[in-house]
């Protein structure tokens, strides 16, 4: 699409999203206020209607008692202080905020949450959340549909998903579930369950394809169901005591001395929650093996070579992790090729799970989905953009349905309040391995059994008590804006178009500023996160370039000691490192910037990498058609002004070109 028609498509969507947010100026304050008041009153009626015959317990005169008044004043004073203090918050709602992965909140989610809070449901189980626990299970199905998992609970192998406090805990849940599934066939062998087609030895049992392990689990469940009650109890106990969850890692690997603690293979760009997860699970950080990237994507040749090595050395692999939207660069790993590699590896005897960490990028799938849930072709999607999506991006999204599990954060690109991450697994039957209690309802008839089962949500999740209001917020949002390209996808589309406009403007900026600096977009953005690398003209030293970026960024970060209004823009930074990019890619970028690669080697910590500006373009009002303002243009004008000032200072001090920092 050309630039003009893009622009008009961009503005044609506006009326459809204008009621979505409170808005940068609080434009929709009236709407929000009406809804909040309406549903607060509604809640009060609900209280009164429970047993209208119960008289009010707080007297109508209570509010005149001095103690009441004293409490009220104390409460007011503290609330005023809180409200005042919060004025120092980071203005995520503003199109001047280009920093981290957060923006304004969708009104349906915000209102649903406020509406639900006074009911205070606890989604640990239906006893404490008769309404919202079902909503959470439905959210799992909504997200499953978005990524191409089976989402019909009438199907025995329907997917399952639940909310977590965030992507970190969802990734942890993925590890926990993959380990349970990997080790279960070993326990079945150990117990000597008859009539099942068990693997020949422990090595095979520990290295099944997850689908084969799932089938074995199902066969075992069916076999159990056919036993007498007494036998069932006995066998269940016997298998239970041989499970890794029962014995612990130490006990399990002592008993199966021929097996090693499995590795997790993830790209170097993986989020640090993976390190946390391996520590928490007791596998140990050393079991996290980081793989190089090539062209800003996980290098599947290196992955394959690593798996070859593992097979040779009889080193089991728990899972490979692909990232859909890296936290630092927004880049997307080749999920499709990772799955091909997994099939080959499993066929050669080294089965493992494939998990996709789509905490950031999961909602990108909305622009790839038709309303009927089918996948849009690359060309259909591309008709809306200048260069999005790269073939690799389309292929990665298209392959999501074949992965074993996925992490998605509604509190990132879903524009929902914090406390809403999500974990999804492709085949819900494996969650039997997570249940704290024996999972009896398993053989009831679907889909009723499915919903009933997960009403005891606390059985399956890492957390216990948790917010039902969060589940209501996500559920209602996905109902108002279904997760396809005509609904939620309109928002996602705005972010991608903004990124394309930003990329274009950055190129112009580079040429406008070429006297002062060398600026570039170091790699084509995969989605809505765009980085800009800048080096003062004539400088060869990475350390001096980094110092320059630090000074630029200092003005663009939250600083509670300063009035908020002094900030023109908020941005963030990240680094380019040879380990993450590969030497060739790193050299290409350093050369283009006029930097001497040798200045990276042996540098102090911090200067062994290149600092760059990072921009998250998820605010839907970056281009204000109402007033003809582009905050993208304004940002680059601001940046140009700052650079002229810093370069001027540097020349006056004549220390920039020489690359010394005093
Ligand atoms: C943000 C993020 C996480 C962690 O999610 P939290 O919600 O912050 O716990 C994990 N992986 C990726 C790729 C992320 O972007």
Q: What tens digit of pLDDT does each residue of 396-438 get?
A: 999 999 999 999 999 999 999 999 999 999 999 999 999 987 6
In this structure, are strands 263-267 and 317-323 parallel, antiparallel, or unpaired? parallel
Q: What is the DSSP letter of 56?
A: P
Q: Output the six-digit token pair for 378.
A: 């690359």
Distance between Cα 157 and ligand 1 center (Å): 27
Residues forming beta bridges with residue 572, ordered by sequence position: 614
State in Å: Cα 185 to ligand 1 middle.
Answer: 31
Alpha-carbon distance values, 222 to 68, 212, 219, 232, 438 (Å): 62, 15, 5, 11, 14
Centre of ligand 1 to C-alpha 78, Å, is 33
CB-ligand 1 contact for 271 (6 Å cutoff): yes
At residue 306, the pLDDT reads 98
Testing ligand 1's pocket by substitution, the residue of 360, 413, 526 carrying the most ligand atoms inside 8 A of its CB is 360
Do 462 and 164 contact (CB within 8 A), yes or no? yes
pLDDT at 604 over 90: no
Q: At 599, is the pLDDT very low, low, confident or very high (cuts 50, 70, 90)?
A: confident
Q: Is the pLDDT at 597 greater than 90, yes or no?
A: no
pLDDT digits (tens, 9 = 90+) for 244-253: 999 999 999 9
Nearest ligand 1 atom to the CA of 169 is 9
Residue nearest to atom 4 of ligand 1 (CA): 167
**Which atom of ligand 1 is the closest one to the Cα of 360?**
15
Residue spans of alpha helices (H) in 513-564: 542-554
Q: Assign 3-class secondary structure to 430-467.
A: HHHHCCCCCCHHHHCCCCHHHHHHHHHHHHCCCCCCCE
Residue 559 clears pLDDT 90, i.e. is over it: no
Task: Over range 283-302, report the average pLDDT.
Answer: 95
Q: Return the SS3 of 152.
A: coil
pLDDT at 654: 57
Question: For the CA atoms of the chain, what is the radius of gyration?
Answer: 27
Using a pLDDT cut of 70, give the percent of the chain over it.
95
Q: Note whether 555 and 566 are within 8 A (CB).
A: no
Instruction: Using the predicted structure, report yes or no on whether residue 635 has a pLDDT greater than 70.
Output: yes
In angstroms, the CA 505 to CA 55 distance is: 66
Which carries the bigger pLDDT value, residue 153 or residue 14?
153
CA separation for the pair 63, 48 (Å, rounded): 19
Residue 443: the pLDDT is: 52
- Helix (H), strand (E) at residue 498: helix 488-512
Verify whether ligand 1 is closer than 6 Å to residue 327 (CB atom): yes
Beta bridge partners, 534, equal 519
Tell me the pLDDT band of 626, cut-offs 50, 70 and 90. confident
Residues pairing with 162 in the sheet: 423
Mutate to test the pocket of ligand 1, among 101, 163, 168 (most ligand atoms within 8 A of CB): 168
Secondary-structure breakdown of the chain: helix, strand, coil percentages, each rounded to the nearest 5: 50, 10, 35
- The reply to whether ligand 1 has any atom less than 6 angstroms from the CB of 360 is yes
The whole-number average pLDDT for the span 559-564 is 87
Give the long-range contacts of residues 371-376, CB within 8 A, separation 24 or more: 371/482, 371/484, 371/485, 371/486, 371/487, 373/145, 373/151, 373/484, 375/148, 376/485
The atom number, within ligand 1, closest to the CA of 325 reads: 13
The distance from CA 177 to its chain's CA centroid, rounded to whole angstroms, is 18
Please give the backbone phi and psi of residue 395, each rounded to the nearest 5 degrees, phi first: -65, -40
Q: What is the pLDDT of residue 653?
A: 63
What ligand 1 atom has the least distance to the C-alpha of 171? Answer: 10
Residue 257 CB coordination number (10 Å): 8
Per-residue model confidence as pLDDT tens digits over 224-279: 999 999 999 999 999 999 999 999 999 999 999 999 999 999 999 999 999 999 99
Average pLDDT for residues 24-46, to the nearest whole number?
98
Task: Return d(Cα 80, Cα 85) in angstroms, integer.
Answer: 8
Task: Please choose from 101, 166, 328, 414 the residue to mutate so as to test ligand 1's pocket, defined by most ligand atoms within 8 A of CB.
Answer: 166
Task: Report domain 135-467's class.
Answer: alpha beta
pLDDT at 3 over 70: no
**Which of left, alpha, beta for 606 (phi over 0: left; psi -120 to 50: alpha)?**
left
User: Could you identify the atom of ligand 1 that is nearest to the CA of residue 326?
Assistant: 13
Residue recorded with tokens 């349970």: 180
Least Cα distance to 338 among 389, 274, 382, 291 occurs for 291
Q: Which of 90, 92, 87 is nearest to 104 (CA)?
A: 92
Bridge-partner residues for 407, per DSSP?
A: 357, 423
Q: Does the Cβ of 328 fall within 6 Å of ligand 1?
A: no
Rounded CA-CA distance 488/482 in Å is: 6
Q: Distance from the CA of 224 to the center of ligand 1, in angstroms?
A: 39
Q: Is pLDDT of 651 > 80?
A: no
Ligand 1 mean position, distance from CA 4 (Å): 36
CB of 409 closer than 6 A to ligand 1? yes
Ligand 1 neighbour 359 (Cβ under 6 A): yes
Residue nearest atom 2 in ligand 1 by C-alpha distance: 359
CA dist 239 → 179, 185, 204, 211, 461 (Å): 16, 10, 18, 20, 22
d(CA 463, CA 382): 40
Query: Longest C-alpha distance within the chain, in Å?
Result: 89
544: which residues sit within 8 A by CB, 6+ positions away? 536, 656, 659, 660, 661
Which atom of ligand 1 lies closest to the CA of 166? 7
Least confident of 12-26, 298-312, 529-543: 12-26
Distance 271 CA to ligand 1 centre (A): 7
How far, in Å, from the CA of 410 to the mean position of ligand 1? 11
Domain spans in the chain, listed from the N-terminal domain onward: 58-92, 135-467, 490-653
Interval 98-155: pLDDT, tens: 999 999 999 999 999 999 999 999 999 999 999 999 999 999 999 999 999 999 999 9
Among 226, 259, 385, 177, which Cα is nearest to 251's? 259
Q: Binning pLDDT at 50, 70 and 90, where does residue 2 land?
A: low
Is residue 389 over pLDDT 60?
yes
The rounded distance, in Å, linking the Cα atoms of 117 and 548 is 47
CB–CB of 527/496 below 8 Å? Answer: yes
Q: Is the CB of 173 under 6 A from ligand 1?
A: no
Q: Is the CB of 357 under 6 A from ligand 1?
A: yes
pLDDT score recorded for residue 658: 45
pLDDT bin (cut points 50, 70, 90) of residue 661 is very low
For residue 359, the CA-to-ligand 1 centroid distance in Å is 5
Task: Please classify residue 50 by burial: count the beta carbons closer than 10 Å to its beta carbon, then call 0-12 exposed, 13-18 middle and 19+ buried.
Answer: exposed
Cβ atoms of 173 and 462 within 8 Å: the answer is yes
Q: 200 exposed, middle or buried (CB, 10 Å; 0-12, 13-18, 19+)?
A: exposed
Burial classification of residue 280, based on how many CB atoms lie within 10 Å of its CB (0-12 exposed, 13-18 middle, 19 or more buried): middle
Q: Does 468 sit in the ligand 1 pocket, CB within 6 Å?
A: no
CA distance 21 to 478: 15
Which of 278, 356, 359 to mutate for ligand 1's pocket (most ligand atoms within 8 Å of CB)?
359
Give distance in angstroms: CA of 272 to centre of ligand 1: 8
CB 422 within 8 A of CB 166: no
For all residues of the chain together, what is the average pLDDT? Answer: 94
Give bridge partners of residue 247 from the DSSP assignment. none
Specify whether the CB–CB gap between 341 and 403 falls below 8 A: no
How do beta strands 405-408 and 353-358 pair? parallel
């Amino acid at each position: 699409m050309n630039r003009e028609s893009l622009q008009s498509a961009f503005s044609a969507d506006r009326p459809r999203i204008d009621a979505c947010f409170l808005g940068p100026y609080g434009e929709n304050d009236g709407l929000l206020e009406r809804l909040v008041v309406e549903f607060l009153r509604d809640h009060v009626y609900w209280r009164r209607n429970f047993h209208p015959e119960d008289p009010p317990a707080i007297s109508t005169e209570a509010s005149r008692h001095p103690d009441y008044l004293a409490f009220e004043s104390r409460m007011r004073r503290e609330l005023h202080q809180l409200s005042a203090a919060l004025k120092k918050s980071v203005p995520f709602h503003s199109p001047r905020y280009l920093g981290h992965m957060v923006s304004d909140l969708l009104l349906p989610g915000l209102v649903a949450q406020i509406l639900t809070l006074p009911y205070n449901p606890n989604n640990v189980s239906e006893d404490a959340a008769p309404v919202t626990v079902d909503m959470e299970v439905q959210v799992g199905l909504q997200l499953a549909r978005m990524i191409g998992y089976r989402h019909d609970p009438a199907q025995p192998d329907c997917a399952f998903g639940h909310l977590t406090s965030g992507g970190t805990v969802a990734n942890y849940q993925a590890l926990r579930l993959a380990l349970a599934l990997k080790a279960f066939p070993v326990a079945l062998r150990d117990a000597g369950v008859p009539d099942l087609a068990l693997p020949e030895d422990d090595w095979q049992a520990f290295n099944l394809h997850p689908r084969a392990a799932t089938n074995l689990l199902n066969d075992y469940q069916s076999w159990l169901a056919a036993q007498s009650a007494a036998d069932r109890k006995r066998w269940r106990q016997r298998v239970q005591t041989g499970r890794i969850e029962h014995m612990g890692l130490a006990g399990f690997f002592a008993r199966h001395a021929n097996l090693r603690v499995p590795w997790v293979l993830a790209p170097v760009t993986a989020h640090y929650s993976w390190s946390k997860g391996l520590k928490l699970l007791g596998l140990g950080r050393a079991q996290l093996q980081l793989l190089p990237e090539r062209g800003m994507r996980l290098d599947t040749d290196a992955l394959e070579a690593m798996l070859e090595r593992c097979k040779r050395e009889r080193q089991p692999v728990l899972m490979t992790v692909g990232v859909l939207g890296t936290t630092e660069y927004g880049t997307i790993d080749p999920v499709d090729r990772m799955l091909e590699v997994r099939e080959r590896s499993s066929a050669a005897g080294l089965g493992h799970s494939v998990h996709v960490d789509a905490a950031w990028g999961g909602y990108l799938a909305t622009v790839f989905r038709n309303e009927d849930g089918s996948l849009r072709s690359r060309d259909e999607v591309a008709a809306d953009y200048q260069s999005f999506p790269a073939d690799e991006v389309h292929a990665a999204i298209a392959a999501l349905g074949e992965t074993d599990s996925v992490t998605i954060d509604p509190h990132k690109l879903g524009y929902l309040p914090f406390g809403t991450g999500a974990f999804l697994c492709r085949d819900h039957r494996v969650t039997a391995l997570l249940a704290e209690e024996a999972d009896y309802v398993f053989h009831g008839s679907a889909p009723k059994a499915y919903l009933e089962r997960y009403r005891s949500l606390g059985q399956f999740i890492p957390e216990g008590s948790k917010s039902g209001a969060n589940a209501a917020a996500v559920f209602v949002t996905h109902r108002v804006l279904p997760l396809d390209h005509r609904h939620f996808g309109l928002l996602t589309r705005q972010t991608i178009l903004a990124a394309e406009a930003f990329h274009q403007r950055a190129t112009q900026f580079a040429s406008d500023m070429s006297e002062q600096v060398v600026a570039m977009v170091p790699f084509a953005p995969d989605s809505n996160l765009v980085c800009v690398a800048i080096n003062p003209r004539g400088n060869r030293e990475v350390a001096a370039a980094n110092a320059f970026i630090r000074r630029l960024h200092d003005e663009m970060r939250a600083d509670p000691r300063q009035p908020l209004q002094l900030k023109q823009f908020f941005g963030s930074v990240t680094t380019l490192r040879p380990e993450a990019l590969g030497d060739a890619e790193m050299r290409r970028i350093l050369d283009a910037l006029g930097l001497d690669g040798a200045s990276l080697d042996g540098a102090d910590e911090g200067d062994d990498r290149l600092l760059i500006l990072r921009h998250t373009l998820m605010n839907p009002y970056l281009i204000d058609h109402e007033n003809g303002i582009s905050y993208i243009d304004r940002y680059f004008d601001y940046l140009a002004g700052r650079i002229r000032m810093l370069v001027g200072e540097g020349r006056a001090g004549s220390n920039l070109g020489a690359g010394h920092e005093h």
